[in-house]
Amino acid sequence: MSIKKNWVISILIFGVFLIYLPALANYFSGDDWFHLRISQISSIQEFINFFSFTHTAQSAAFYRPLPTQVFFFVFQKLFGLNAWPYFLFVLICFGYSLYLVYKFAQQQLENKAGSKYFAPMAVLIYGISVSNFTRIYFLSAFQEISLVIFSLLCLISFPKNKTKAAIFFILALMSKETAVVLPILLVLFYSKKIYKNIISIVPIGLILLVYLYLRFMVFGGVEGDSYIWNFSPIKVANTLMWYILWSYGAPELLVDYVSSGLRLVPKFFTDYPIWWKLITSLLLGTLATSGMLFAKKIKNINLSQVKYILLFLIAILPVLFLPSHKFTLELGLPLVGFSLAIAWLITNKPTVFSYIFLGFYISLNLSMNYLTYTRHYSINRGKISREIITYLSANYQEYPKGKNFEFINDSGNYGDDWGQSKQISQSISSSDLFRVFYKNPDIKVYYQDYSDEIPKNAILINLSTKQFLH
């Protein structure tokens, strides 16, 4: 790669890095406290337990030991509850994933005629996507970035080094379960090489079979209302539609304001009296110009472009049948296929629509990044968590023996679904913040919205409750 190309991609990645720089000011929230708790270990055996398929005190609901238990263990040992180094590491890894998107895009053009702007454009499309927000601002979503890194390293390595590809496949599986699609993607992109040497894919297949047995027969599945499989074609089509819209730049919050028949509910216009016009106009403009580009270039589409679309569909397949569990953070790997497909549309014999679409896409995603920053749960819950840590540090540096903490509502209840103390419970993962802060896994914290009974010797936190809810 020439020095000029090095500078171009470096500046591009650095520019994307600046977009997400505010993440360094964020704090732990929600599941972060759970992962911090289970990663507070004191023996080698407990560290080994991170990787166990049988459940231990160090197990989580999902088998993702590298970007959860190991990540939180290492950084907690190094930096304690100082959150910004965690977020800096996530940002650096995200930047590296962008470089791998660039390398993978370049690999697709090898020995083929293609635009020199194809790979940088793919990085731009991927990097500024608002769907990255949760993956960067919520530390417990780091597995998505880890998955992308090891998946792309597997795909990039496979043609020249099968052993490295197999190792990266294992690391991807230890990052997130959806890495099971990688063997399909390898066949998709390297079918000719595999056909000539079928044994080259056998180690990957054996690793997959062993993993599937251990993951589903030993570790087991996940229970919960949001993890109910639904194979209805209508539900699948609806779920796919949302992942496509989010890929283009629709804010995740939009899903809460769309009723049957794709009608916007009136609450959308009252909750976002100014923003709704910007959201709808930019989104419609992005979709319309994208459609025009596709219509003009559909005759020129070849197998390579079909592969990009299939990459998106195959990577999203594991979550398509979970309609109650659709979130933008799931787009980490599928967005690679989307970015390659869109980059080809823009750079292959660019027209005026190419530049108009790019203008709409950039405007939509940058503005939605800002809007998401003002509303996202990881930001607000992080503020609540930081306030409580500050409160405990100032007033209860040591756990008061024989006492219990209870958060009570300092004004009228907000309702059965979302009271004040319930918000705090969601932000600090019930008792986990206290267990981490005091390094005691047996502490139990009480909340008025979950129980009307006040525990004995309770320390009631009510005046502080309101100040925690920004």
Domain boundary among 337, 356, 375: 375
As a whole number of angstroms, the distance between CA 165 and CA 149 comes to 12
Are residues 433 and 416 part of one domain? yes
Q: How many CB atoms lie within 10 A of CB 328?
A: 27
pLDDT at 415 over 70: no
Which tokens belong to 378?
């990881």
Place of tokens 């993951």: 215
Domain boundary among 332, 353, 375: 375
pLDDT digits (tens, 9 = 90+) for 165-177: 999 999 999 999 9
As a whole number of angstroms, the distance between CA 172 and CA 66 comes to 9
pLDDT digits (tens, 9 = 90+) for 68-88: 999 999 999 999 999 999 999
Are residues 110 and 80 part of one domain? yes
pLDDT digits (tens, 9 = 90+) for 303-323: 788 999 999 999 999 999 988
Are residues 387 and 252 part of one domain? no
pLDDT at 460 over 80: no
End-to-end CA gap in the chain = 49
- Percentage of the chain with pLDDT > 90? 74
Are residues 85 and 209 part of one domain? yes
pLDDT of residue 412: 56
pLDDT at 3 over 60: no
User: What distance lies between CA 197 and its chain's CA centroid?
Assistant: 36
Are residues 418 and 288 part of one domain? no
pLDDT at 417 over 80: no
**Entry pTM:** 0.93
Q: Which domain holds residue 445?
A: 378-468
pLDDT of residue 1: 47
Are residues 363 and 406 part of one domain? no
Are residues 440 and 363 part of one domain? no
pLDDT at 111 over 80: no
As a whole number of angstroms, the distance between CA 266 and CA 310 comes to 36
70 residue type, one letter:
V
Task: Tell me how many domains the chain contains.
Answer: 2
pLDDT bracket for residue 467 (50, 70, 90):
low
SS (H, E, C) the chain: CCHHHHHHHHHHHHHHHHHCHHHHHCCCCCHHHHHHHHCCCCCHHHHHHCCCCCCCCCCCCCCCCHHHHHHHHHHHHHHCCCCHHHHHHHHHHHHHHHHHHHHHHHHHHCCCCCCCCHHHHHHHHHHCCCCHHHHHHCHHHHHHHHHHHHHHHHHHHCCCCHHHHHHHHHHHHCCCHHHHHHHHHHHHHHHHHHHHCHHHHHHHHHHHHHHHHHHHHHHCCCCCHHHCCCCCHHHHHHHHHHHHHHHHCCCHHHHHHEEHHHEECHHHHHHCCCHHHHHHHHHHHHHHHHHHHHHHHHHHCCHHHHHHHHHHHHHHHHHHCCCCCCCHHHHCCHHHHHHHHHHHHHHCCCCHHHHHHHHHHHHHHHHHHHHHHHHCHHHHHHHHHHHHHHHHHHHCCCCCCCCEEEECCCCCCCCCCCCHHHHHHHHHCCCHHHHHHCCCCCCCCEECCCCCCCCCCEEEECHHHHHHCC
pLDDT of residue 410: 67
- Percentage of the chain with pLDDT > 70? 93
pLDDT of residue 194: 81
As a whole number of angstroms, the distance between CA 105 and CA 95 comes to 15
Span of 71-75, 151-155, 196-200, 243-247 with lowest mean pLDDT: 196-200
Are residues 417 and 281 part of one domain? no
Nearest alpha carbon to residue 439 among 77, 45, 142: 77
The residues, ordered by sequence, that sit 6+ positions from 403 with a Cβ below 8 Å of its Cβ are: 457, 458, 459
| CA distances to 89, 111, 132, 314, 439 from 383, in Å | 20, 51, 20, 37, 21
pLDDT of residue 426: 92
| CA distances to 6, 132, 311, 344, 354 from 297, in Å | 30, 28, 20, 10, 11
pLDDT of residue 459: 79
pLDDT digits (tens, 9 = 90+) for 212-264: 999 999 998 877 777 888 889 999 999 999 999 999 999 999 999 998 878 89
Domain boundary among 357, 375, 393: 375
As a whole number of angstroms, the distance between CA 222 and CA 8 comes to 44
Are residues 400 and 347 part of one domain? no
pLDDT of residue 462: 65
Are residues 446 and 319 part of one domain? no
As a whole number of angstroms, the distance between CA 301 and CA 282 comes to 26
Q: pLDDT averaged over the chain?
A: 90
Are residues 441 and 317 part of one domain? no
Q: How many CB atoms lie within 10 A of CB 452?
A: 6
pLDDT (average), residues 463-468: 51
pLDDT digits (tens, 9 = 90+) for 270-312: 999 999 999 999 999 999 999 999 888 888 788 788 999 999 9
Are residues 218 and 94 part of one domain? yes
| CA distances to 48, 83, 307, 402 from 130, in Å | 36, 22, 24, 47
pLDDT of residue 325: 86
Contact status, residue 247 vs residue 219, Cβ threshold 8 Å: no
